[in-house]
Amino acid sequence: MSTDQDRAASSGPNAPNGVKRREFLKVLGVGTAATTMLGCTQEKVEKLIPYLISPDQTVPGVSNYYATTCRECSAGCGVIAETRDGRTIKLEGNPEHPVNRGALCARGQAALQGLYNPDRYRGPMARKNGQLQPVNWDEALQIFAQKLGETRSRGGAGSAVFINQHESGSFPGFLDAWLAAFGMPPHLSYDAGADHAVIAANRQTYGVAWPRLDFRAARLVVSIGADFLDSWGAMVPQQLDFAEARADHENAPRLIYVGPRRSLTGLNADQWIDCKPGSEMAIVQLLGGQASAQAAAQATGVSETVLDAFAREFASSTPSIVIAGGGGADGLEVALAANALNSRGNVGTTIKPNEGYLGFDRMASPAELRALATRMITGGVSLLMVRGANPAFTLPKAVGFAEAMARVPFKVSFSSYPDESSELADLILPDHHSLEQWGDAEPVRGTISLQQPAMDPVFDTRATSDVLIAVAKKDPANAARYPTADYRSWLIGRFPGGAAALAAALPHGFASGSLAEPTTPRPVPPVHATAPIEQSSGNMYLVVYPHPFIGDGRGANKPWLQEIPDPVTKICWQTVAEMNPGTAERMGLANGDLVTVRTAAGSLTLPVLRYPGIQRDTVAIATGRGHTHAGRYAKAGLNPLEILPDGEDRAGGVAFVSTKANVTKAGGYAHIVTTEGSARQHGRGIGQAIAIADLRAGRPGYDSGNANAAEIAQAGGTETPAGERPEGAAQHGEEMPGDASHAFLPGMRSPVANDAQGEQGNPLSNDKGMYDPKHWSGMAKRRWAMTATPRTTSRPLARTGKSARSCPIEQALAPICCEVARWRGFVSSATTRAGKTAAPISTRASCR
Amino acid sequence: MNLRSRWLAVPGFICIAALATMLSAYSGASSSEGNSPVQPVKFRHTIHVDTLKMNCLYCHFAANKSFDPGLPAMSTCMGCHTVVQGTTPDNKAEIQKLAEFWNKKEPVPWIRIHKLPEYVHFPHMRHINAGVTCQTCHGQIQTMKQVYQASSLNMGWCVNCHIGQSNPPFRARYDCSACHY
């Protein structure tokens, strides 16, 4: 459909570049014909490129499996890496591993896209004339060693800073020893995704950073914003434990979720209590009996009846689990108060500090990094080294880390990928990916989880541990302390039982033993405490929450993690402002309408997504997207940390829920990038639900998609309404209403001759299917795209006898086929090229 | 172009193209049987297999354990040819070529001869382990001075063997999903 102007432009004499329809068709026709003819000629010349030296134990097309440890977060799950033809192609959980027991989360699965990431640093780079330029390793190490020497000779070693990604195992200790050898202070171990308030509270209450939660032993689980199924703490074992507990229909614990936004954890709850952000403390006080339901209702905006029933249920359910999280301004106080509720017999029964996870110890808080930023601005840092962490992105922009980092005289990055922090560096010494290097972790006390290379490095990178050893060897004062060639030898020297024990343990991926790491907490520096959320101004509460897959942003350049729909909103590749449909309706906002969310720190304009699982005065935005310098895929979306004011809870963690915001309609529209057409079932019964009581009693329950479901339930809920039962379904009590019949349909079997099943077929049957000589199709004599019968065959099948059913069209066409083949020069040239020993082409079936 | 020829041109072309496609497929002319390209190094199966009696699996080490028969790594070649320099001037020259590739740390870019379309699976190990010899498909490769494609590798040729028409006869599945999966 073209407008008049279009037509004038394309067909007029003054349209030199316009392609006429008729010409286009001509070209198309000739092109198609040419392709058809040429496409049937011989295959293009293809090369077979052998290995120079074959990788160890490589059989092409057959996989090797290596047990190693996932380093995508600090939990330390065991993975099995499948490596084919020298390249790792798949990760799965290690079934023997005590932490993840065979499971692996989406972030772990996507580690492969970090390994092969197209934006990875190909090799070391150094800043020359203001630009990062590739250098070779000799030069890069020379620069690094020289800068270390300069820093020390100028007396600046004491003010050098090393920020490492948070991890357990022997590397942190190795790193601190190396820093001490150069006169530098211990490193900062940073994990932006950790809930610092909860870790601090747990230490105070239980003496460990992260106890194991035994959901099976609990009758009631109360989660106050603690998304233990999303990414809060040791996610994989928590998911497994919870799933196992809930699969036991007799003793499944009830889950009540308290919080302004229903996360995946909230959607798994039996009840959601949608309190106002920042009012969680009132709920905890209600449960503890320090406040009345009326006072709590006043503070939270939840009805008093609901809260009263909740308090009574909590009081009568023991043992239970109460956990709190969610990054509020009073996160530490809420977590401490929630932990105190567990003192009524839960500790040791449902909350097990002795089986705690060690991946959350010795972590530096964001408050320490803010203090560091202040020091960097005033020139108090001589040398900054960063490995694996990205503080320039993961701290609120109001902290000003990037600006402060730019003031440091020399910055070294060990990052494998470009990110906001490495872009500011003067020297980049790219680390191996975790699947390319040696290492270890101690995820639970008494288990050493081993990390080994699953493949040779993809690019010209080097393990940071090896770089540190190499640089120490160059330094006359330190060379003697590092007699080992590399970090692997250092690990072997430290491993209980030495090389033999390590070799025996590697196939399993872990060993018993302990690296006896200290688990002492770091002292928290003075925090920049946030004022209560009610003191900020705005028409809605702003809830910033960590994206369940992309997390603090480190997964943003992995397309799998961008593409996988958020488990709650089903959003991909996009940052949206989630709002309650009622509120959106009142403000005249449909899905995709742009709104401006303005706080004291800045504003963002983004599309609205109506989500019923959100408190009516709240707008929620996920973190992790909207990078500026983290590669081609990471640019998608927006970063809510840009509008989050600088402020911390009293444990030094970023207060993600600390401010109100002014939400106004911005005008304009953006398509919502979602995999979900509608969040409702429209009565089709796609997601079936049945009450456990019905299931246990063998009753069919009622269809959750049925508009009359409530009435049916009221009336007893024992009968499926007439007409709901599918045709031919099983007897009463065995079918799900609305479900299609699963009965075997004979007509759906593939029509395969018994003979075609080879050894798997019935040896007594003589069914040859369409290759039977008597089959109507005559296929036994006439095979499509066929040529010669084998010369070794005494009776060429295709020529057996003259059947009366021989196809006349075939007979008519056969001479033409041979002519065409000769005309195209194929037959003669093939014979010549093959030489005298070539197969006689004349046996070609169609040339009689 | 008058009205009549315009209405004939496009369907006519489509008919001719369709006819050409069907004839080409039916005649088997799309097979590259007999293809015998000149390789960058004149490797002689005659010397290695016929004269020296080397087992095929010494170089094609994965033929009995993988879909892929395995192409010897350059290091496998040089395992012998750092010592074995050849006897005739021709052979010496070819081994010299191999050594040059090795010294440059470059693999020899062998030209592929046997190639099945992407939609067909041919698991070498199942055929070898069922007792099908290399020669059944690849011809008398030990006597080929220059390797050529001895069989058509077309579907009809595959099915002949799978339905038990080979000598010695084998019986194997020949439903579509036996190879097309």
pLDDT tens across A77-89, in order?
Answer: 999 999 998 899 9
The angle at the Cα of A716, spanning A711 to A717, to the nearest 5 degrees, equals 70
B chain contacts of residue A33, beta-carbon cutoff 8 Å: 13, 16-17, 20
Q: Which CATH number fits domain A125-193+363-512: 3.90.1150.10, 3.40.50.740, 3.30.565.10, 3.90.1170.50?
A: 3.40.50.740
pLDDT (tens digit, 9 = 90+) per residue, B25-77? Answer: 666 556 788 889 999 999 999 999 999 999 999 999 999 999 999 899 999 99
Distance separating alpha carbons of residues B87 and B176, to the nearest angstrom: 50
Q: Is the CB of A833 less than 8 angstroms away from the CB of B36? A: yes
Question: pLDDT band at A702, cuts 50/70/90?
Answer: low
Distance in angstroms between the alpha carbons of the first and the last residue of chain B:
48
Strands A410-413 vs A320-324: parallel, antiparallel or unpaired: unpaired
The per-residue pLDDT for B107 is 94
- pLDDT over threshold 50, residue A368: yes
Q: Is residue B144 part of a domain?
A: yes
pLDDT at A42: 47
Share of chain B above pLDDT 70, in %: 94
Residue numbers in B near A27 (CB within 8 A): none
Residue spans of alpha helices (H) in A506-558: none
* Longest Cα–Cα distance in chain B: 77
Which residues, 6 or more positions from A146, have their beta carbon under 8 angstroms from its beta carbon? none
User: Which pLDDT value is given to residue A783?
Assistant: 53
Q: Indicate the domain borders of chain A.
A: 125-193+363-512, 197-357, 534-669, 681-721, 768-843
pLDDT given for residue B2 in this prediction: 66
Q: Provide, as residue numbers in chain A, all residues whose Cβ is less than 8 Å from the Cβ of B178.
A: 756, 758
B31 contact residues in A (CB cutoff 8 A)? 787
The predicted structure's pLDDT at residue B1: 53
Task: Name chain A contacts of B161, Cβ cutoff 8 Å.
Answer: 790
Mean pLDDT of chain B: 88
Q: Domain check: are B167 and B133 in the same one? A: yes
Q: Is A373 left (phi over 0), alpha (psi -120 to 50) or beta?
A: alpha
State the pLDDT at residue A795: 34
B22 shares a domain with B41 = no
Are A47 and B178 a contacting pair at CB < 8 A? no
C-alpha pair distances (Å), B12 with each of A29, A34, B2, B3, B17: 10, 15, 15, 14, 9
Contact A756 B174 (CB under 8 A): yes
Across A806-823, average pLDDT: 45
Q: Minimal Cα–Cα distance from A18 to chain B, Å?
A: 21
Of the candidates A838, A822, A821, A819, the residue with the CA atom closest to the CA atom of residue B25: A821
Return the residue of B nearest to A63 by Cα: B66
Question: Which chain B residue is nearest to residue A832, measuring alpha carbons?
Answer: B34
With bands split at pLDDT 50, 70 and 90, how would you rate the model's confidence at A829? very low
Q: How far is A457 from chain B (nearest CA, A)?
A: 18
Helix (H), strand (E) counts: chain B: 8, 1
Amino acid at A452: Q
Residue of A nearest to B10 (CA): A29
Cβ pair B27:A833 closer than 8 A: no
C-alpha span between A82 and A92 (Å, rounded)? 8
What is the mean predicted confidence (pLDDT) over A183-209? 92
CB A830 within 8 A of CB A841: yes
Percent helix, strand, coil in chain A, to 5, is 30, 15, 50
B51 assigned to some structural domain: yes
Ranking A410-414, A757-761, A837-841, B115-119 by mean pLDDT, the lowest is A837-841
Query: What's the structural domain count of chain B?
Result: 2
Confidence grade of residue A294 (pLDDT, cut at 50, 70, 90): very high
Q: In this predicted structure, what is the pLDDT of residue A759?
A: 64
Domain limits at B146? 34-71+110-178
Interchain contact, A51 vs B23, CB within 8 Å: no
Strands of A217-258, DSSP E = 220-224, 254-258
Statement: residue A496 has pLDDT above 90: no
Residue A382 has pLDDT above 70, yes or no: yes
State mean pLDDT over A637-662: 92
Residues with Cβ within 8 Å of residue A134, at least 6 apart in sequence: A122, A123, A124, A125
Ramachandran category for residue A793: left, alpha or beta (phi over 0 → left; psi -120 to 50 → alpha)? beta
Q: pLDDT by residue (tens digit) across A503-561?
A: 999 999 999 988 766 666 677 778 888 888 888 899 999 999 999 999 889 899 999 99
Stated length of chain B: 181
**Nearest beta carbon to residue B66 from set A61, A824, A826:** A61
Q: Specify the pLDDT at position A459.
A: 95
Residue B155: closest CA among chain A residues belongs to which residue? Answer: A786
Chain B CA closest to residue A817: B27
Q: Which of B62, B75, B165 sits opposite A789 (nearest CB)?
A: B165
Q: Which residues from chain A sit within 8 angstroms of residue B136, using beta carbons?
A: 792
- The minimal CB distance from B26 to the residues A37, A760, A813 is found for A813
Set of chain A residues whose Cβ sits within 8 Å of the Cβ of B20: 33, 36-37, 40
- Kindly state the DSSP code that residue A654 receives in the 8-state scheme: B
Cβ-nearest to B112 among A46, A792, A797 = A46
How does DSSP classify residue A537?
A: -
pLDDT at residue B94 in the model: 95
Of B105, B112, B145, the CB nearest to A48: B112
Min Cα separation A772/chain B (Å): 11
Q: Which residues of chain B lie closer than 8 angstroms to A793, CB-CB?
A: 160, 165-167
CB-based burial label for A107 (10 Å; 0-12, 13-18, 19+):
buried
Contacts of residue A7, defined as CB under 8 A and 6 or more positions apart, other chains included, come to none
Task: Report chain B residues whose CB lies below 8 A from the CB of A48.
Answer: 71, 109-112
| Contact (CB<8Å) B160/A59 | no
For residue A666, the one-letter residue type is A
Mean pLDDT (whole number) for A649-671: 93
For residue B13, is it within any domain? yes
Quote the pLDDT of residue A20. Answer: 59
pLDDT given for residue A729 in this prediction: 35
Q: Is the pLDDT of residue A483 over 80?
A: yes
- Class of A534-669 per CATH? mainly beta
- State yes or no: pLDDT of A4 exceeds 60: no
**Per-residue pLDDT at A470 exceeds 80:** yes
Q: CA nearest A753 in B: which residue?
A: B175
Residue-wise burial string across A137-152, b where 16 or more C-beta atoms lie within 10 A, e elsewhere? eeebbebbbebbeebb
How far apart, in whole angstroms, are the C-alpha atoms of residue A41 and residue A644?
A: 64
Tell me the chain B residues in contact with residue A24 when contact means C-beta distances shorter than 8 Å: none
Residue written as token pair 């006080």: A285
Residue B98 lies in a domain: no
Nearest-neighbour CA in chain A from B111: distance (Å): 5
pLDDT, residue A178, reads: 94
Q: Flag whether B122 is in a domain.
A: yes
Q: Do A49 and B110 touch (CB under 8 A)?
A: yes
Clarify whether residues B23 and B46 are in a common domain.
no
Name the residue among B9, B30, B165 with its Cβ closest to that of A793. B165
Q: Is the pLDDT of residue A441 over 90?
A: yes
Closest-approach residue (CA) in chain A for B39: A47
Question: Which residue in B has a C-alpha nearest to residue A751's C-alpha?
Answer: B175
A790 interaction partners in chain B (CB closer than 8 Å): 151, 157, 160-161, 165-167
Instruction: Give the per-residue pLDDT at A378.
Output: 93
Q: Are A832 and A839 in contact (CB under 8 A)?
A: no
In-domain check, residue B140: yes
Residue B48 and residue B21 in one domain? no
Is B14 within the bounds of a domain?
A: yes
pLDDT at A695 over 90: no
Confidence of residue A306 (pLDDT cuts 50, 70, 90): very high
Lowest-pLDDT range of A34-43, A174-183, A282-291: A34-43
Q: Inter-chain contact A757–B154, Cβ cutoff 8 Å?
A: no
Q: Are residues B135 and B165 in the same domain?
A: yes
Please report where in the chains the tokens 């401490």 appear, as a residue. A336
Q: What percent of chain A has pLDDT over 70?
A: 78
* Mean pLDDT for chain A overall: 81
Q: How confident is the model at residue A756 (pLDDT cuts 50, 70, 90)?
A: low
pLDDT at residue A636 is higher than 70: yes
Name the class of domain A197-357: alpha beta
- CA-nearest residue of chain B to A845? B27
Predicted confidence at residue A780, as pLDDT, reads 66
Question: Closest partner residue to A792 among B32, B35, B166, by Cβ?
Answer: B166
Residue with tokens 């639900």: A689
- Residue A276 CA to residue A556 CA, distance in Å, equals 30
pLDDT band at A434 (very low <50, low <70, confident <90, very high): very high
Claim to verify: residue B130 and residue B157 sit in the same structural domain: yes
Report yes or no: A255 and A379 within 8 Å, Cβ to Cβ: no
Q: Given pLDDT bands bounded at 50, 70 and 90, which one contains residue A792?
A: very low
Instruction: Give ipTM to 2 decimals.
Output: 0.84
Residue range A117-172, pLDDT digits in tens: 999 999 999 999 999 999 999 999 999 999 999 999 998 899 999 999 999 889 99
Which is nearest to A74 in space by CA: A362, A392, A352?
A: A362
Q: Of A238, A166, A168, A197, give the one whose Cα is nearest residue A548.
A: A238
Per-residue confidence (pLDDT) for residue A676, from 0 to 100: 86
